[in-house]
A and B are shown apart, each in its own frame.
Chain A
Amino acid sequence: MNLDDFKFTKEHEWVKVEGDIGIIGISDFAQKEFGDIVYVELPSVGEKIKKGDACANIESVKAVDDIYTPISGEIIEVNEELESNPENINKDPNGKGWIIKIKIENKKEIENLMNNNQYNDFLNGIS
């Protein structure tokens, strides 16, 4: 998959910008670290969140972790399909495994994120 449109955080979330909308998910590296994801707790549509807030909760058989939003804004859509098919995050973390969509409040927050190459360098540094 071409990940040129994706921006990444050090906490392994990604954002893909489509106009005013930011789509948020977790990276392939993160889904592998989790192992088999069996449960996703989603936020409510309409909720306003600030960069760094916990916006979803992901659980594998053994691990449980909060997902933090890399950008601020209002949640306009959540991926309800994850409630019945949480494994979509494992199978397709950058596609079907998206978690929430946010109406972006401040585009500047995106500029500080890593692009795919920078993120890969970052991963090579930590593994």
Chain B
Amino acid sequence: MKKTKLNKAHYILNGKMVEFTGWDMPVQYSGINTEHNAVRTYGGIFDVSHMGEIFLRGKQALDAVQYITSNNAAKLKPGKIQYSALLTENGCFVDDILVYMLSENEYLLVVNASNIDKDYKWIKEKIVHFDVNINNESTDYSQIAIQGPVSEKLLSEFTKEDLCAIKYYHFIKGEIKGIDSIISRTGYTGEDGFEIYFKSDEDTASKLFLDLLDKGKKYNVIPAGLGARDTLRLESSMALYGNDIDNSHTVLEANLGWILKLKKGDFIGKNFLLKQKNEGINRKLIGFELIDRGIARHGYPIYVDNKEYGTVTSGTYAPYLKKAIGMTYLPVERTEIGTKFQIQIRNNKILAKVVETPFYKRDKKN
């Protein structure tokens, strides 16, 4: 099994370890509910070093990024980040990614852990005609996510940089405890927070993780695992590759039209999506809440007009909102807020309704 450079820290912290797409990762430390609500109220620290870092460098780096992604990378400036997608010719997902513009000729693509090898191979194949080099530096980089309202206060104890000046979806290069890092104001929890990327040995990485927790104690910051990461992202209606988005649903069907810029130049999937946009989609990803008691989970069958239509793509008990929520695809004419449908939970068909997303939205105080 693969191990992140912070692996030792998880054992010191007595994390409950599980295999996650080939990685030995903590699913929880103190409990998913506790960790989830700590992130919403104070802060939580996650090891997300399993995520992939693929760099594109060269004269035509921007052209290459534009060709392989759906969003308009020409809008980026050095220090700016964009949520985007790698799409198939049919407009479906190879992966959803973050694009970091490091400099005029250098971009960093942050990809899902389960897709690193697939993405690297796919990108390499698609960019052969561009003057650009591709490097998969995923194993060199560790990534720690500091998420929650106290993130800025806590992280500023570790750096001289002015964190307040980093706006959402922006980053700087700076030192964290003397370690060269990319300090990025991003996250997968729906809270304010930072994701820091750095290269170091195992002891340094583990020590930084433990030091962050140590200094975080006074703010009630605790370590958080993949379990809370999943419930936090779902409560904030963020899609997960492999659940809500995949290679059989298009970016339009996934309700992610805002990362699709059809007016930019040529890119993979453009022709198909132009056509789909004109003709309209048949199904759309929605958020739902259960009306009856129960918890819907990934893979449970859904019924529209008493006919089996598809399955729940993500479902959980939302620890902060304290209700059962989830996402699924529905026929587009049945996606209006309040529309009812059924989910089969064991032997019963349970009533659910379409609700507004995001389920949870933080108050933006700052």
Q: Which residues of A are interface residues toward B (Cβ below 8 A)?
A: 35-36, 38-39, 41, 57, 59-62, 64, 83
Contacts and interface: CB of A to CB of B under 8 A. Distances in A.
Contacts of B227: 61-62
B297 A64 contact: yes
A60 B32 CA distance: 9
Contacts of A57: 346
A38 B28 contact: no
15 contacts: A35-B31, A36-B32, A36-B33, A36-B34, A38-B319, A39-B293, A39-B294, A39-B295, A39-B317, A57-B346, A61-B36, A62-B227, A62-B316, A64-B297, A83-B293
B293 A61 contact: no
Contacts of A38: 33, 295, 317, 319
A103 B118 CA distance: 58
A-B interface, 10 closest residue pairs, ranked by CB to CB distance from nearest: A36-B33, A61-B32, A38-B317, A59-B295, A39-B295, A62-B227, A35-B31, A61-B317, A36-B31, A62-B32
B319 A61 contact: yes
Given A39-B293, A64-B295, A64-B297, A59 B317 contact: yes
A83 B31 CA distance: 21
Nearest to B227: A62
A35 B27 CA distance: 12
A36 B34 CA distance: 9
Interface of B: 27-28, 31-34, 36, 227, 231, 293-295, 297, 316-317, 319, 324, 346
A60 B294 CA distance: 11
A35 B28 contact: yes
Contacts of B324: 39
A39 B319 CA distance: 12
A62 B298 CA distance: 11
Contacts of B32: 35-36, 60-62
A46 B319 CA distance: 34
A55 B232 CA distance: 32
Nearest to B30: A35
Contacts of A39: 293-295, 317, 324
A64 B312 CA distance: 16
Contacts of A36: 31-34, 319
A125 B256 CA distance: 51
A89 to B, nearest CB: 14
Contacts of A60: 32
A61 B316 contact: yes
Nearest to A40: B293
Nearest to A83: B293
A64 to B, nearest CB: 7
A39 B297 CA distance: 13
Contacts of B28: 35
A36 B317 CA distance: 11
Contacts of A59: 295, 317
Nearest to B322: A38
A52 B294 CA distance: 23
A23 B70 CA distance: 59
Given A35-B28, A36-B33, A61 B294 contact: no
A41 B294 contact: yes
Contacts of B319: 36, 38, 61
Q: Which of B27, B294, B295 has most chain A Cβ within 10 Å? A: B295
Nearest to B28: A35
B189 to A, nearest CB: 15
Most buried by B among A59, A60, A61: A61
A38 B33 CA distance: 10
B27 A62 contact: yes
Nearest to A64: B297
A33 to B, nearest CB: 10
A90 B18 CA distance: 22
Contacts of B317: 38-39, 59, 61
A57 B346 CA distance: 10
Nearest to B32: A61
A99 B32 CA distance: 23
A120 B231 CA distance: 34
Nearest to A33: B16
Contacts of B295: 38-39, 59, 64
Contacts of B293: 39, 41, 83
B105 to A, nearest CB: 44
Contacts of B297: 64
Given A35-B28, A38-B317, A39-B295, A61 B346 contact: no
Contact of B33 (A41, A61, A83): A61
